[in-house]
Amino acid sequence: MTHQSHPLVQVGEEVADALAEGRAVVALESTIISHGMPYPDNVAMAREVEGIVRAHGAVPATIAVLDGVPRVGLDEASLELLGSDPDVAKLSVRDLPLVVAQRRHGATTVAATMRLAHLAGIRVFVTGGLGGVHRGAERTFDVSADLGELAVTPVTVVSAGVKSILDIGLTLETLETNGVPVLVHGSDEFPSFYSRSSGYAAPSRVDSAAEVAAAMRVADGLGLASGMVVANPVPETDEIPAAEIADVIEQALADLDARGTTGQDVTPYLLGRIVELTGGASLRTNIALVRDNAAFGADVAVSYAGR
């Protein structure tokens, strides 16, 4: 059975019950499954992350559009479909109207997942990496819709920061302009996904899930429209040092240029190319950091729910 908190959004029963009782719920995105990792590691990751969220006392709510229905909370068969069907579209906010109207499948990006999570009443969302301002954006204008969504939707997004396929400095500036708090967990440096360092200082630092939840409550009290970025650096044992990944990223960007790939295909191409160039090492790091984010994000959701 499913529930409808919004006429267009179907919330699974377990998630709906948890929300109705004020228990902790963690939203999870699906572009990371369909367009961020290869099959079958992607499906295994999606299942495992749901388990970690549960082990930390929260209910997982993976979000996607299936047959044109925005769904919050998916079963195993849906995760398998998202991970293996090549016809699943990458779906950002601007794609929602047509994909829903045409009754197609879509895997939601950070931006679209935030929007649907908010419609369902979910406050905490865990992912791997955020989209941001691409390198060379002064030429291409390629700025992820994730940043626009963070400006207008009050959902806390836990990630391992921003990959250096992006311009990290310009991404942080844009978040500041848009009034989005950026809290780094347990570090004075903003992390760059594969690496704990980025060369950019943490805009602010927290050392516990309770501190994040306290900031969220104040944001609620002030009626802030924006979301919040929580950057959780990859565990030391899993990181690829910045100096090591830098050449790989330069190569991936050069290959992107040579192919002339633009638009929504840019990020999936770069993620896939980096996995190839590192012989799978980047995928292991990617999975490890999502696990760690799921644990911390669930702790944040539990702390926030226990207010």
Contact status, residue 208 vs residue 157, Cβ threshold 8 Å: no
- The whole-angstrom separation of Cα 282 and Cα 196 is 14
Distance of closest approach, residue 304 Cβ to ligand PSU, in angstroms: 22
- Taking CA atoms, 74 is separated from 24, 54, 66, in Å, by 17, 14, 10
Nearer to ligand PSU, 94 or 307 (CB): 94
Amino acid at position 143, single letter:
V
User: What SS3 class is residue 56?
Assistant: coil
Contact status, residue 124 vs residue 154, Cβ threshold 8 Å: no
Locus of tokens 């309770």? 210
Distance of closest approach, residue 296 Cβ to ligand PSU, in angstroms: 17
CA atoms 166, 208, 290, 156: torsion sign: negative
271 makes contact, choosing from ligand PSU, Mn ion, none, with CB < 5 to 8 Å by partner type, with: ligand PSU
292 makes contact, choosing from Mn ion, ligand PSU, none, with CB < 5 to 8 Å by partner type, with: none
Nearer to ligand PSU, 11 or 287 (CB): 287
282 makes contact, choosing from ligand PSU, Mn ion, none, with CB < 5 to 8 Å by partner type, with: none
**Which residues contact ligand PSU by CB under 6 A?**
29, 31-32, 36, 109-111, 128-129, 131, 144-146, 163, 193, 264, 267, 271
Under DSSP, the state recorded for 238 is G
The angle subtended at Cα 151 by Cα 60 and Cα 110, nearest 5°, is 35
108 has which bridge partners?
A: 91
Which residue out of 50, 90, 149, 163 is catalytically annotated?
163
196 makes contact, choosing from ligand PSU, Mn ion, none, with CB < 5 to 8 Å by partner type, with: none
Query: Between residue 135 and residue 164, which ones bind Mn ion under the rule CB under 5 A?
Result: 142
Distance of closest approach, residue 263 Cβ to ligand PSU, in angstroms: 8
Nearer to ligand PSU, 130 or 219 (CB): 130
The angle subtended at Cα 286 by Cα 118 and Cα 39, nearest 5°, is 90
Distance of closest approach, residue 133 Cβ to Mn ion, in angstroms: 10
Is 29 a catalytic site residue? yes
Binding residues (CB under 5 A) for Mn ion: these are: 142
List active site positions.
29, 163
